[in-house]
Structure 1
Amino acid sequence: MSVKESAVFDRPYRAFLFDMDGTLLNSIAAAERVWAAWARRHGLDVEAFLGTIHGVRAIDTINRQALPGVDAQAEARGITEAEIEDVEGVLAIPGAVAFLQSLPAHRWAVVTSAPKALALRRMHAAGLVPPAVMITAEDVASGKPDPACYLLGAQRLGVPIGECLVFEDAPVGIRAGEAAGADVLVVTSAHGEPMVTDHPTIASYDRVHVQCDAAGSLRLRPSTPA
């Protein structure tokens, strides 16, 4: 794994804000199984449609299709129920469990487009302990790329957003972090194809660690290979 040289490794942060799917855990196969079945039922081009679902709230994905006679709220609830049932193959991103365990409990939050019940189910399936602060689909009126979710995450941690580092994997989430005014680090472990981004990237958490200084600041460091 290589870590891009970047200012995120040189500055102190007061908190880390993590997207969930694709950033802390890989749920792509499970999500695509559920959404592919939904797309087929509604006569959509499955392959083209699946490229639009990641990082976005279910209700926003469904509304974007503008399907006649479809109750988007009811369909979103059905999708969530199906995803809660199907967590086969949901796994933590390499190194994520140990990395999160190394963080002070009051200095990180999950900011996800998933509903809370689904977020908790997937984190449990991946062996991740949920943090005290979780921002989920129910907490905001507008989902990513709107920055409201990241601004709310920083607010609930009691930290200015400019002193937070956002960990993301999806373009809509990256745009949300940018719009919020936070630094962004892109996690590429779950990507099937290379992502072109101006932000620093890490392939996994195995080769980074965190140092916490006396003032409580968090500093991200590249780890030396064993």
Structure 2
Amino acid sequence: MGVVISVNALLEGRYRAFLFDMDGTLLNSMASAERVWGAWAKRQGLDVETFLPTIHGARSVDTIAALKIPGLDPAVEAHGITQDEIKTADGIVEISGAHKFLSALPADRWAVVTSAPRALAEARIKAAGLPAPPLLITAEDVSAGKPDPQGYRLAAQKLGVDIADCLVFEDAAVGIEAGHAAGARVVVITETHHPPLASAHPQIPAYRDLIPHIGSDGYIRLAA
């Protein structure tokens, strides 16, 4: 199981690799996503204000399936929503300092693990102007989405590192649970949180005050 650490322990720790969630963690796509999902929810007769907070962090197909709407095919609906989101990827911006932080990492030491389908993930990363991830784990790569730890474990495996030596960057409750259950250490990015998210894991606003350093032992350390 993952270890709950403090902010001081976060900065004192050493890591083989960093694993990043995407939406809300590396980039802010909230306005784009809620615009598309809000229109869909309205067509289904759902209470939009109550529904929208449930879409973050989970795969679209899982979010729709959980509603158990009679006669609705979650896979078909999720595909339609994804296509609409790809078409409306404007207004997506990086989380503060994300580009500089990612650019400072060795290519074989980081991955993005997202609940988004691959085409949408690639469109949003490009729209935000972020470096293309050397390893991208998406909704299509797992049989169970977050909070299942499968995605994070798969990323660590493909990078050739022990998940216990990884630091997971997350922003959503289901993703935090997935990273912790995978056996990684977890830090919460809070730039898009209004109000703040309650979590036992350390929280930092963004990446602008973080600097990664590669030690002579090959481990990554963080300086603030």
Pair in the same fold by TM > 0.5: yes
Of residues 89, 97, 100 in structure 2, which corresponds to 1:98?
100
Q: Distance in 2 between matches of 1:197 and 1:145?
A: 15
Please list every run of at least 4 consecutive aligned residues from structure 1 whose deviation after the TM superposition is greater than 4 angstroms.
none
Q: Distance in 1 between matches of 2:60 and 2:87?
A: 16
Q: What is the aligned-residue identity percentage?
A: 57
Residue 160 in 1 paired to residue 131 in 2? no
3-state SS of paired residue (1:132): coil
Q: Distance in 1 between matches of 2:194 and 2:37?
A: 18
Match of 2:115 in 1: 113
Q: Distance in 2 between matches of 1:129 and 1:210?
A: 16
**CA RMSD of superposed structures (Å):** 0.8
* Partner deviation per Cα, 1:57-76 (whole Å, 9 max, x = no partner): 00000000100001111101
Of residues 33, 40, 58 in structure 2, which corresponds to 1:56?
58
1:122-161 matches, cutoff 5 A: 122-161=124-163
Aligned AA (1:140):
V
Q: Distance in 1 between matches of 2:222 and 2:45?
A: 46
Aligned AA (1:202):
I
Residue 21 in 1 paired to residue 35 in 2? no
Aligned residues: 219
3-state SS of paired residue (2:54): coil
CA contact 2:7–2:203 (8 Å) conserved in 1 = no
Aligned AA (1:117):
A
Aligned AA (1:182):
A
Match of 1:81 in 2: 83
Aligned AA (1:132):
P
Match of 1:35 in 2: 37
* Partner deviation per Cα, 1:13-62 (whole Å, 9 max, x = no partner): 00000000000000000000000011001000100000100001000000
Aligned AA (1:50):
L
Q: Distance in 1 between matches of 2:126 and 2:166?
A: 25
Q: Distance in 2 between matches of 1:19 and 1:109?
A: 9
Unpaired stretches in structure 2, ≥5 consecutive residues: 1-5
Match of 2:3 in 1: none
